[in-house]
Homo-oligomer: A and B are copies of this chain.
């Protein structure tokens, strides 16, 4: 399949980047049902590490098995599977060549109190496993934020030199940010900007709420008189914050919830110019058939097809 004009346009945003990085971005952008459309739907399965296995997998026990999540991503014809080292290593051989892999290279858990992540994998691992990208979480605002930025920078430089794409999960927290502030529009947009400045090719954020956390941003948004009551408008602001749409910004699905809610979000992401979804718990915590149906509907929505939800 030839790379489509829309995907070539997106690749052109990364001019000056090594061709190998573009080839790996193209792999993700041309994969699966959304392939060629400029939209992506990615399955992330790092919750076992981040939230613990019971919270993550007990609702749908087959998901304890790495092969299950590989098969789910492949069968749903998604764009990529993102996970930490151990999980990817448990399936990369058996499913070699079936779906682009994103190696989540730093990880935290919910047992401790330090707002930081450990580097748990490297570029060498990503190459050995045949990954297309490497990913890092940052916590802008936290006490360890600058150390995290430096780790991302080092890893990103090495990844790009090896032709790998770089994904950054931007989750502001700590510092001057309170709980609601973590998903406030200005804060989410700020996280996207920082990820772009650090050299991320793909940026993952949470869907922004109507909250504005900082007084100055609130004043400026108010003066600019843009109506931010709709999620689609807020998605547009976040995408603008990532170099005016020149970086692939995708939105997380959050905790498990109803399919209608999810699809409403997807429509808003699509209408606001977002590049897609990264949806984990809402996929692997549902029973397999239900998950596949939900993902099919999400993709239909991104492709502008009449949704075909059967759940």
Contacts and interface: CB of A to CB of B under 8 A. Distances in A.
B199 A89 contact: yes
Interface residues of A, number: 117
Interface stretch (A10-18, A270-278, A289-297): A10-18
B85 A54 contact: no
A176 interface: yes
Nearest to A116: B146
Most buried by B among A97, A127, A161: A97
A220 interface: yes
Interface in A65-121: 65-68, 74, 84-87, 89-90, 92-98, 107-114, 116-121
A80 B296 CA distance: 32
A121 B52 contact: no
A284 to B, nearest CB: 13
A232 to B, nearest CB: 17
B96 A22 contact: yes
Given A20-B129, A22-B93, A244-B65, A217 B55 contact: yes
A300 interface: no
B107 A149 contact: yes
20 contacts: A3-B97, A18-B128, A20-B129, A20-B130, A20-B131, A48-B241, A52-B189, A53-B190, A53-B192, A53-B241, A58-B224, A65-B246, A85-B199, A87-B243, A111-B141, A111-B172, A111-B187, A113-B176, A118-B150, A129-B163
Given A52-B189, A52-B217, A65-B244, 4 more contacts: A19-B96, A54-B185, A124-B157, A124-B161
